[in-house]
A and B are shown apart, each in its own frame.
Chain A
C-alpha cells in the first residue's frame, strides 16, 4: 500500500492528451513539492518533473505538472508511442521523515 495514490493504468491514442493523478495528504503533497519519474521498460527511473512543474533539461514541453492542495497531476499532450512507460509521483513526507512514492501508473499508447 503506497502512501501516495495513483491510478494503476492509463491509456491514450497517439496525439491525445493524458493526465495521471497523484493523491496524498497534508504531511506529504500538502507540505512539499512533487516530483515525477518515468520508467521505461527494463530501465531505471528518470526524473521527468521536479518542484511540481519544472522540467529537467531534455524533457519535452509536452510534459507538464501541477499541484493543488494534497493532489498533483502529470499531463502528457501530443501522446507518442515512446511515452509508453510507468510513471511514479514522489515527495517528502514530514510525518515519516522520508520520501514516499505513488504505486505507479502504467501508461499504454494504443
Chain B
C-alpha cells in the first residue's frame, strides 16, 4: 500500500521560503505511471491544487504549476530518496494552510494522500 508523509517546518516567517518534503513508501516516485502533487487547504477553507511533478527514467521530469502560484513555486524530485519537494517563495499569511502531498493517476484522480502538515506564516 502506497503511503505518503509530509515533513518540514511548521512555522515560516513572512517573505521567506516555505520548504516541504513528501516521502513515499510502498511505491516508486520514478515509476513513470503517476503524477506527484502538492495540494493545500487554508484553515476552514477548501482545497487548492498547487502543482505536480512527473518523472520517468525514459522522459526525465516534467512539472506543471497552478497559474496563480506559478511564479513562486518549485517542485522537485529526489529519486534516490524516493521523495519529492515543494518550495514556495515570498510567503505571506495567505499561504498559511495544511499542505498535502498526493499521488495522482495521470490527470484522472488523487488516489493516495499524505496526512497533511500545517504550515503557519507568521513573524
Q: Do A and B come from the same complex?
A: yes
Q: Do residues A98 and B110 form an inter-chain contact, with CB atoms below 8 A?
A: no
Q: Is B66 an interface residue (CB 8 A)?
A: yes
Q: Do residues A47 and B47 form an inter-chain contact, with CB atoms below 8 A?
A: no
Q: Do residues A101 and B49 form an inter-chain contact, with CB atoms below 8 A?
A: yes
Question: Considering the chains assembled together, what is the distance between the CA atoms of A33 and B105 in angstroms?
Answer: 12
Q: Is A62 an interface residue (CB 8 A)?
A: no
Question: Considering the chains assembled together, what is the distance between the CA atoms of A50 and B111 in angstroms?
Answer: 9
Residue from A46, A50, A92, A98 within 8 A of B113 (CB atoms): A46
- The smallest beta-carbon distance between B107 and chain A, in angstroms, is 4
Q: Do residues B47 and A51 form an inter-chain contact, with CB atoms below 8 A?
A: no
Size of A's binding interface in residues, CB under 8 A = 25
Q: Interface residues of B toward A: which range?
A: 20 to 34
Q: Is A104 an interface residue (CB 8 A)?
A: yes
Given contacts A101-B46, A104-B46, contact A44 B113 (CB under 8 A): yes
Question: Considering the chains assembled together, what is the distance between the CA atoms of A51 and B109 in angstroms?
Answer: 8
Given contacts A2-B46, A98-B66, A99-B49, contact A32 B107 (CB under 8 A): yes
Q: Is A22 an interface residue (CB 8 A)?
A: no
Given contacts A96-B67, A98-B66, A98-B67, contact A47 B110 (CB under 8 A): yes
19 example contacts (A-B, Cβ-Cβ < 8 A) are as follows: A35-B109, A35-B110, A44-B115, A44-B116, A45-B110, A46-B113, A47-B111, A50-B108, A50-B109, A51-B109, A90-B110, A96-B67, A98-B49, A98-B51, A98-B64, A99-B107, A99-B110, A101-B48, A104-B47
What residues make up the interface of B, taking CB atoms closer than 8 Å to A? 37, 46-49, 51, 64-67, 100, 104-105, 107-111, 113-116
